[in-house]
Amino acid sequence: MANLLYQQIEMLSREKHIEPEVVVSAIEDAMVVAARKYYKTEEDLRAKFNQETGQVEVFSVHIVVEEVTDSSKEVSLTDAKKKNPEVEVGAEIIAAKPTDVLGRIAAQTAKQVILQKVREAERDTIFNEYHTRVGELVTVIVKRAEGPDLIVDMGRTEARLPKREQSKLETYNIGERLRVVIKMVDRAAKGPQVIVSRADASLVQRLFEMEVPEIYDGTVQIRFAAREAGERTKVAVASRDKDVDPVGACVGMKGMRVQSIIRELRGEKIDIIPYSEETVAFAQKALSPAKVTRVQITDPELHKLEVIVEDSQLSLAIGKKGQNVRLASKLIGWDIDIKSEEEKRREIEDQMTRLTAPATPLTSLAGVGAKTIEKMEAAGINNVEALAAMTPEQLMEIPGIGEKMVDKIYQAVNRFYEGGGEGAAATEEGVAAAEEGTVATEESSEGVAEGQAVQEEVSDATAETEASTETEAVENAEENAAAENGQPAATEAPESAEATPESNENSDVHKDHAAPEDESASAEGDAEHPEEAKS
């Protein structure tokens, strides 16, 4: 009996790939659970499997103490010495429990515990074996289908091929052999723990390692790979030997090597690209078969590129449903923004138009308070155009502006662009024109006033000239009268002496008479300028 039971334990161990001691430990734990359920006790129970007799013995264990606090687990020193006089404090008192009275229910309980323990031990063994083999290529056989997932046989255990890890263009039959890669090992899964994949990019890498000796020995390396299962794969390869062409080694003579991989993947397209350390050059090659005009790094921190292609190459560079640019972006690890030459030209023209267009101040928005405008200006928003280009999330990041205020601002912006913007611009132009007219009127008024002043100066100069002329006429008449009376001017010394100041006065009068003429001439010349100003 003993040999037969232990033989069954060893057979189970070989089948489940676990150690016999694990099965024995499971049996002992099961007997403890069954005995505890039958005796309904809280005692500390232990079980021991005897390989000679084939019996599983159950014992209750009590700790010897001076003062008992838990009678189910402890025993006093006095009671313990009644059974064993040599016992001391801290020793264990073991008492056997009959197992032949456990019955059918206890046996069923023990069976469930044994199966659970063996299953847990098997899962631990599988996890320890396969978690170090993630990414390895294995051959499996399709065993059955569970909904959209497939259960495949790996030999020692079963694995799961989920729907998401299946190729889109492939169909699988029961009993079919497949090459898959181990994707992951899920220890907490209820069913098979090993997850395998037919859609992962590492499957293509493992297939290249099998078909290309240069990759297997390390002369050629697969640096990156990006894949959309069933449709297209891009592989970046580099060579450690300058005399070895990495692309040619992967393609093979007449494409034999890559064609065998394509057949395994059931017609999936494969692009083999030479790897480059320079991001710009690598991006140009990654977008093949499209020809790239130029590549520009727009944001090195966020890894963003701008690629310009010819108008005829735009659709080829983007690919079917954006597939080509998406795979290229995964391959190089940068976000790619593809534009045609025409799109880039229009973008530059729009930028120039925005730069040259006048900016509308925030004060033109009706319904937005001054404090809100100050907050937006403090955040760097100085015109309505910049405000309209912002998203609600960006506005809410400004301190002091909440959700309600954002709605209010957008309502004001909408009103501005629906008609208020043009009216406000026309009003500003009208005000500016009115101000210019006012300034021109003031200038013309000033010119008229200056002309009037010059005319007054001319009139004053003319009056002075007429007065001096009358004075000379009177003096000449007096001199003529004196000559007629026979009074020579030379014999009258006093008169001649008195005449000296008169002659001086006459000379002054002549000087004054000449000055007004000059002034009148200059005044007439100046009088012409106001007319030119008016015109």
H/E segment holding residue 450 = helix 421-484
Span 292-307, pLDDT tens digits: 988 989 898 999 999 9
Residues 6+ positions from 231 with CB-CB distance below 8 Å: 168, 169, 268, 269, 323
435: confidence class by pLDDT, cuts 50, 70, 90: very low
Which burial class, exposed, middle or buried, applies to 435 when counting CB atoms under 10 A from its CB (0-12, 13-18, 19+)? exposed
Span 241-296, pLDDT tens digits: 989 999 999 998 988 999 999 999 988 999 999 999 999 999 999 998 888 988 98
Distance, CA of 69 to CA of 80 (rounded, Å): 15
Span 220-237, pLDDT tens digits: 999 999 999 989 999 999
Which of 119-128, 268-277, 428-437 shows the lowest per-residue confidence on average (mean pLDDT)? 428-437
Write out the DSSP string of 80-128.
HHHH-TT--TT-EEEEEE--TT-HHHHHHHHHHHHHHHHHHHHHHHHHH
Residues 6+ positions from 99 with CB-CB distance below 8 Å: 31, 35, 55, 56, 57, 58
Distance, CA of 272 to CA of 225 (rounded, Å): 9
Question: Do 2 and 53 contact (CB within 8 A), yes or no?
Answer: yes
Other residues' Cβ atoms within 10 Å of the Cβ of residue 228 = 19
More confident residue, 145 or 100: 145
State in Å, rounded, how far the first CA of the chain is from the last one: 135
Q: How far is CA 24 from CA 30, 117, 125, 524, in A?
A: 10, 10, 16, 135
Length of the chain (residues): 535
pTM of the model: 0.57
| DSSP structure class, residue 175 | T
Q: How far is CA 128 from CA 17, 65, 140, 337, 443, in A?
A: 12, 43, 20, 45, 98
Span 188-220, pLDDT tens digits: 777 788 999 999 999 999 999 999 999 999 999
pLDDT exceeds 70 at position 66: yes
